[in-house]
Structure 1
């Protein structure tokens, strides 16, 4: 795995995903300029984190792709996408999967729509919408990053997920999750991210999968 001293750039992504196409590499490289441009106008990423865009936002989002492989034609909804995470990095990684990125904040969705346009991501849509307003059984997976406690996320996600043994909610979380898991009443599969990524930032970061 890459060492800690790899600089925060698109090269960090290539180190973990060496089979990216030239087009995918170019799309990941373009993220830095796009997010720096928009973050000067709308605070879509914490200003204390913008210097670590690739590690704390892009690679964190892509950790989902180290654990789960979305298939061509599958539908993935990103709940509370904010500035486009994890949806945009995942859409670059899985160019034949359909993504819908939703958030209730219109100005964030407008940023996400522009980034989608600039990257020419034709299989991605961004909507100003709440998860509870989506139609039932509209997606194979729901993904989310640091949006809400697990019981709330599961309440939002379970009605939009299609039945299927591999379908479910995938969420990125940090810290002590015992209370959230207890209150959810479900039994998620838990992946610790530090063994996968071997970088200090991920020492208390986890990926949770809740099957339908």
Structure 2
């Protein structure tokens, strides 16, 4: 089996383990994303994970674990880095307006090239601090970006009424949850199982309290 065939097999096997069905175009784009990430990473140091197989599991499949919980038509991915999870979600479920936000210029240049070369519609990358981003989004995602309190303090203004914040964490962050800003509340905590990856992963769904003043 060639290296590219092995990566496709790993991705398809992982999708089956997650109970996800993606069309051939999405699978091809995910593999093209990994190949582009690998090429750019040699010069731009976009991720510390350099093994292609680990990029499939720790980046792509990890991002896809939250796909069933994404809602609405407008999504913002905060501190997206090389597009995790936002760009992966945009590839897997096209049709949403997706905004990828990062302050690192090299990573945003990579994202813009990925959006262009993969032919993604409705997806844009913004180089900015989160506090300076404008707009309202039905769903906000963040993966290993900052503490929950900091994420919500910096980006809480982006959450539309009735929207949900999906925060990806490793161990269950009990201490961080105790420090949530008072206008926000945890609505659901879900353990995640990433195919081929050991260690704890959790998804925290956070919403604005009905009585919140923001």
Q: What range describes the TM-score normalised by the shorter chain of this pair?
A: 0.7 to 0.9
Alignment of 1:1-212 (within 5 A): 9-15=10-16, 16=18, 18-47=20-49, 50-66=52-68, 68-71=69-72, 74-135=73-134, 137-164=135-162, 167-185=163-181, 186-188=184-186, 189-194=188-193, 197=194, 199-201=196-198, 203-212=199-208
CA shift for structure 1 position 102: 0.6
CA shift for structure 1 position 14: 3.5
Counterpart Cα distance in 1 of 2:147 and 2:51: 22
Counterpart Cα distance in 2 of 1:140 and 1:154: 15
Asked if 2 retains the 8 angstrom alpha-carbon contact of 1:100 and 1:124, the reply is yes
- Give the TM-score normalised by structure 1: 0.85
3-state DSSP of counterpart to 2:80: coil
Report how many aligned residue pairs link the two structures.
Answer: 198
CA shift for structure 1 position 134: 1.6
- Give the TM-score normalised by structure 2: 0.84
3-state DSSP of counterpart to 1:207: strand
Asked if 2 retains the 8 angstrom alpha-carbon contact of 1:169 and 1:211, the reply is yes
Asked if 2 retains the 8 angstrom alpha-carbon contact of 1:49 and 1:56, the reply is no
CA RMSD of aligned residues (A): 2.1
Gaps of 5+ in 2: 1-5, 209-214
Match in the other structure for 1:3: none
3-state DSSP of counterpart to 2:153: helix
